[in-house]
Structure formats: C-alpha cells, structure tokens
Structure 1
C-alpha cells in the first residue's frame, strides 16, 4: 500500500482508519461530502502533510475516481442512515466499486456482522454460514455478494467485519457510541438491549490498527476477516466504568423491544433497531484466530482503558466546540 483513500473519512470507522494511516506515515486522501468536517478531522490530526482532503459525493463514481489520484487502496467506510439501508446501501457500494474498477484500486470494505444471522458457533469464524433472517441482514448479504461480483474484474476486494464498536470517533451508527457520548456529556443515556447480557465490542483505534495491517498484505484480499474486540462485557459494567471516568451519574435507560417500538413512534429510526435485537439477546462473538495468524497478534485494549479514554476524548472534544 503506497497511498490510501478513505471514503467516508469523517465517520466513525473512517476517522479511526484515517488516523491510523497517518500515524503510520502513509499518504492518505480523506474523502467526504462535508468540507467543514474534513477540515475538522485534519485539525484534530494536527494537519499532517501527508493528508489530502477531497470533498465529493460517494454516490458519484466520477467524484471518487477524480479525487483518488494515484491511490492504490480504497477504504470503503461510507455508510447510509440506518433507516435507509435497504434502499441506498447497494447503490452506494456500486458507485464506490465502479470508481475502484476505473482506477484499478484495491478495496477494503468495512462491514458488520448482520449477514451471519443467528449464531451457529460459539466463536464465529469467517466460515460461519451467511444465513441472515432479517431485512437488514439480507441487505448486507446482497452487499457482500455485490462486492465480490465478477463485474469488478479490476478490483481486489477485502471485507472486514466488526461487532458493535466504540471509541472517540464513534457516532450514531454505533449503539454503544451514542450511549457513551451522552454519559460523557452528563446527560441521561439510552442503552440498546439487555444490560445484563455480556456482549462483544471493539475499540475503534484497535480495529483500525488491525484493518490497516491486513490491507498492507496482498494475499489478505479476496476474502473476509472478522475483527474481534477485547472479549465481552455487560452494559452494567460499561456504565459503571463510563460514570467513573466522566464523574457523572445521570440515568441510563435500557431499551428492549417494547421501549424501542414505543420510541419509534416519535423517532422512526428506532423502529429499525427492533429486528436486530436478537444480537443483544444471543450475541455473536467473533473469533480472531485468522487475523492473529496473518498479522501476528490481536490489538485488544482492555475495556476499562478504552472506555475511560473514550469518555475523556469526548469531553475534550466538547470543550473545543
């Protein structure tokens, strides 16, 4: 990888991957639709010389191709609003792949675990059946199939799959990211799902390190990779750590099916979460053995350290706004 392009660079995963690329001294093009957000990203990274900002529409292949320069690896971190996933995810992916096809770039697509459907392994490997039973899971499976389509003959593609994530750059696309942001701000928070059931979360800076390492190895393309977190943790323990780090003790309300359905009457996107609640009831836990075998070791910041660092970073960001 000589030069990278991050599409969706100001989002949760995009910002973390951009930061890791810059940390490793890799020439990087940060692509997004908001010039203001891109400039803020650059400022937060210290305006590094090896970072180029490019404003454009990720649904327009010509915008991406025109901004890509001589980039050889494209990180697809762009996303669509949760409630628009079934209608807009595939057109977005097709536009990005069309740009990569035109320029002959490799593609690293960041995705989630929805295509696996219900858990069929104690530790989910990349060989787990792709048998989604939800509307969004089926859309994500179609997205996977599109990425590996023979239509893109000039593109070598890799999919990296993350569980729910958290970290300083996490946004509303992350269940836990929204919870921690509210706690850091000293506001009442919502926690999606049962707070007693331990679940897996990955710290975004850790995920970014592992993703970039995989992207630097040619033979890691043309396949999928599960990026694990640092084990499992209950919502109650997360809140305990976050409250201690923030010095705040505002209420944290757990929302299950009934609560999300009721809230969905006023906040439509919340209705869309209901069908995915199975992941909070019988969580999938990812195996990291394949990643470990190829990059040497897993990067796994303990939850106590990662959550506290996230709270501090969110509070520092709030003072700068």
Structure 2
C-alpha cells in the first residue's frame, strides 16, 4: 500500500467540492489526516476561511466559476464530489459544475478526482465490468455522467489531470443519502425490518465510503506515476446473492440486543407515487441495477496499489448503523 502519511514532500493543498456529502466529506477528512491542507466550498453565510475540524471552509457555489477558481488557487488537487441535491436538476447543474472544476484545474495544473458511478453502464456490459467497457447507459442520468466523464477526458488532453474511482452503492457512518440509509433501514430508528430492493439470487455491489476515500488518497499519493487520465474500479463488497448485506445487518442488530426481519422493498408504492414525485421517478429509473448483477472489476486497481482498502463487512455495517443512529455503543455486548 502507498504510504499516505508523507504528504509534506508534495504540493499537498486540495479543494473538495461536495465536502458536506458522504464521500466528499470522508475524502476531505482523510486528506487532512494524511497531512494535506484541505479547503472546502459550500453555499451559505459562513465566513470565509472558517476553520472546522482542521478543514478551511470557504463560502461559494460550485455553479459559479469565479468561486471555484478563487477557492482552487494554489491547489494541486480538486475533488469533484458535488452533485445536485437528490436527483433533481442533473440536466441543468452537472455539466456546468464539472466545467467550472475543469477551468480551475487547468488554471492551477491540478489533478481532478471524481467519484464515478455505475450509471454509465448498460446491461450489455454486465455482469463483470472493466474500466474500458463501452458506456451505453439506459438512463438520462447515466447519459449525463458519460458526458461529464467525456468533458474530463477532453480536459486531460489539454493540461488537466484526472483520476476517476468508480464504486458500487455507497454505505457508511456519514452516508446519509444512500440506498443503505434510505432503502434498507430507517435512520434514527432501531432496525426491526430490512427492506430488500433486489430479488434473491441477484448479486449487488456495495462500497464502504471510508474504503473508497482511502483508495482515492492512496492513488493521489502515487499520482505522479499515473497517466493524465486514469480510471479505476473499486471492488468493494460483492453481495453474490443479494442477501449477504441483510444477513450482516441482522447479525449486527442481534449482537446489540435486537431482532430484524426482511421484506421486499415496496417498488409498487414507488411506481404509484412516481408521477407526483420527481425523486421517486428518478429512483424508479434506476431499478434495472437491482434486477441484474453488476460487479466492477478491480484488477487494475489492485495491480497498481498492491491491494484495495477493504474493511470487513460486519465491521463496516456496524459502524454504518451506529453512525445512522440505528444502534448505540451502549447496546453493544460487554
């Protein structure tokens, strides 16, 4: 594994866009812990240069190029982990935001780091997907993400550098907006029922956010050895039959004195409500990812790093449930 603690030998100042989100926030904290100077941009009335947890927070908007350019001044890395809230305004915001990041990266000679999505791929590439698989998405969001990555690839031919790390469905202690936290369990409540979005027997890939963030930090420590445009797939946790994540949740809940059953996710209810709720319409559009197995091939990543950061499943699930307020430290067995 790369030694990520020796950041002082490099120009290690990073801007994180989307640091209030799950993956952006985790990358920001891990970069900080590895010795980087970390700046983060967020909307709101917080004063410029506000220090919190060793991260410098700047007021600004990723949709305003001048804000991004100013925040990125002196940075050798820009983490582009920002997305429109929910599934709304993707067609209006996604590409302008990445173009602002690209402009700042080119001005500073910086490396852009992007958390990639599986939306880019259609079923013609399933079940095992390598980085060079054709990107023929089924959905509008997938098409937008393909175009986003094309913008980044073009920028890499014009002076910017790019690292993409694609992963499966996120889960983690601070990943509040995820299938785990909004579909499988209910945050802030003891787990009595686990909802299963996929059918039994259909594999699904999960990615623990701290592991994905560590992967990005380790790749950045070796970025001088990468080409101008580098794409990697993270293996994460492969749930081969679609039931292992639920079984891990159940075991953790039992250790904390509870009992949890399972039931099918109410797709029928989503379908009924979708005409009246844009977010549910977008959710329904992604159902194909629960009907067919999609596994990202991490051969390239393991060859480059020597291994992939990987927290054992039950340990990751326990930390996630604790972070979501579904279990408490007091309920742990003595």
Q: Same fold (TM over 0.5)?
A: yes
1:151/1:202 Cα in 2 relative to 1: closer, same or farther (>3 Å)?
closer
Work out whether residues 170 and 204 of structure 1, in 8 Å CA contact, stay in contact via their aligned partners in 2: yes
What TM-score do you get using the length of structure 2 for normalisation? Answer: 0.82
Partners of 2:162 and 2:105 lie apart in 1 by 10
Does residue 114 (structure 1) correspond to residue 119 (structure 2)? The answer is yes
Deviations 1:238-290 (A, max 9, x none): 54245336655577653364332113245430111112111111121111111
1:299/1:61 Cα in 2 relative to 1: closer, same or farther (>3 Å)?
same
The Cα shift of 1:183 comes to 5.0
Tell me which moved more, 21-30 or 309-318: 309-318
Partners of 2:19 and 2:275 lie apart in 1 by 32
Deviations 1:171-212 (A, max 9, x none): 22x211324661552378784622523311010001111111
What TM-score do you get using the length of structure 1 for normalisation? Answer: 0.85
CA RMSD of aligned residues (A): 3.0
Does residue 223 (structure 1) correspond to residue 233 (structure 2)? The answer is no
Work out whether residues 256 and 277 of structure 1, in 8 Å CA contact, stay in contact via their aligned partners in 2: no
1:79 to 56, 79, 83: 83
In structure 1, the partner of 2:210 is 205
**Which structure is larger by alpha-carbon Rg, 1 or 2?**
2
In structure 1, the partner of 2:278 is 268
The Cα shift of 1:55 comes to 1.8
Does residue 58 (structure 1) correspond to residue 62 (structure 2)? The answer is yes
Partners of 2:255 and 2:49 lie apart in 1 by 29
In structure 1, the partner of 2:8 is none
How many correspondences in the alignment?
311
Partners of 2:70 and 2:216 lie apart in 1 by 25
Specify every segment of 5 or more residues in structure 2 that has no aligned partner in the other structure, as ranges. Answer: 1-10, 330-334
SS at match of 1:244: helix
1:94/1:24 Cα in 2 relative to 1: closer, same or farther (>3 Å)?
same
Partners of 1:317 and 1:157 lie apart in 2 by 39
In structure 1, the partner of 2:179 is 175
Specify every segment of 5 or more residues in structure 1 that has no aligned partner in the other structure, as ranges. Answer: none
Partners of 1:146 and 1:212 lie apart in 2 by 23
Partners of 2:81 and 2:235 lie apart in 1 by 18
2:32 to 22, 25, 39: 22
In structure 2, the partner of 1:32 is 42
The Cα shift of 1:67 comes to 1.7
